[in-house]
């Protein structure tokens, strides 16, 4: 039962953060497209690990620093939006699963299929 509640809270935090990121004025954060891929909150709601993915890999480190510096603002805005007893402290983590998936897809597409492995098309 409690895990279901935590899951709903994780989803709400993810939605709110995604909308709040559009309003950040930090140039490190505005310079790249950011996706919040998932949020993992501790059962006591003290900490939330936020996984972020960046479109531009070169700017990812700087953008992550910008997100960490904006954590106080984002936490305050989350507090007013979610109405929880405790607003979790945001811990930012880089999620490279989208980049990894794109790399694997590129490798798969670069493979050559020989003639004898192709099915007959009649």
Spatial distance between the Cα atoms of 108 and 105, rounded to a whole number of angstroms: 5
pLDDT of residue 115: 60
pLDDT of residue 103: 85
| Half-sphere exposure for 20 (CA within 13 Å, toward CB) | 21
pLDDT of residue 117: 58
Encode the chain (122 residues) as per-residue pLDDT tens digits. 466 888 999 999 999 999 998 888 888 888 788 889 999 999 988 999 999 988 877 888 888 898 999 899 999 999 888 888 888 999 999 888 777 888 889 889 888 766 665 555 55
Cα separations in angstroms, 83 against 75, 78, 80, 88 = 12, 8, 6, 12
> Do the beta carbons of residue 51 and residue 45 sit within 8 Å?
no
pLDDT of residue 85: 84
The CATH superfamily holding the domain 2-101 is K homology (KH) domain (3.30.300.20)
pLDDT of residue 16: 92
Spatial distance between the Cα atoms of 53 and 100, rounded to a whole number of angstroms: 11
pLDDT of residue 116: 61
Question: Domain extents for the chain?
Answer: 2-101
Token digits of residue 57: 């890999």
Instruction: Report the run of H or E that residue 92 belongs to, with start and end.
Output: strand 89-94
């Amino acid at each position: 039962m409690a895990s279901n509640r935590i899951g709903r809270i994780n989803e709400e935090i993810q939605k709110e953060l995604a909308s709040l990121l559009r309003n950040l004025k930090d140039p490190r954060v505005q310079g790249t497209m950011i996706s919040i891929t998932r949020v993992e909150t501790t059962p006591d709601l003290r900490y939330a690990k936020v996984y972020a993915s960046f479109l531009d890999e070169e700017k990812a480190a700087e953008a992550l620093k910008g997100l960490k510096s904006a954590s106080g603002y984002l936490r305050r805005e989350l507090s007013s939006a979610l109405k929880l007893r405790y607003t979790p402290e945001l811990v930012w983590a880089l999620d490279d699963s989208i980049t990894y998936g794109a790399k694997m897809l590129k490798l798969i597409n670069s493979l050559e299929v020989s003639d004898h492995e192709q099915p007959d098309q009649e």
